[in-house]
């Protein structure tokens, strides 16, 4: 693979690049990655990491979605 191809692939997989596209990463108060709503409880404090900063939030409700969505 060419250097340009490898560079493009690395940029596409860079987590900061994903955040810059409008996504956020969710972490527990203990700084563990939250990958599912099933891992949260109402009243729990979470941290949302955006490309330009982090927001501390409190879970007020949880709506389950089917995995087909």
Please provide the average confidence, as pLDDT, over all residues in the chain. Answer: 88
Q: DSSP characters for 15-65?
A: HHHHHHTT--EEEETTSPBP--GGG--TT-EEEEEETTEEEEEE-------
30-51 pLDDT tens trace: 999 999 999 999 999 999 999 9
Per-residue pLDDT, 23: 92
Q: Does the pTM of the predicted model rise above 0.75?
A: no
């Amino acid at each position: 693979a060419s250097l340009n191809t490898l560079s493009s692939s690395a940029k596409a997989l860079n987590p900061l690049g994903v955040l810059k596209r409008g996504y956020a990463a969710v972490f527990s108060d203990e700084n563990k990655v939250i990958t599912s709503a099933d891992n949260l409880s109402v009243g729990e404090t979470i941290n949302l990491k955006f490309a330009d900063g982090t927001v501390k939030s409190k879970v007020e409700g949880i709506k389950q979605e089917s995995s087909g969505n």
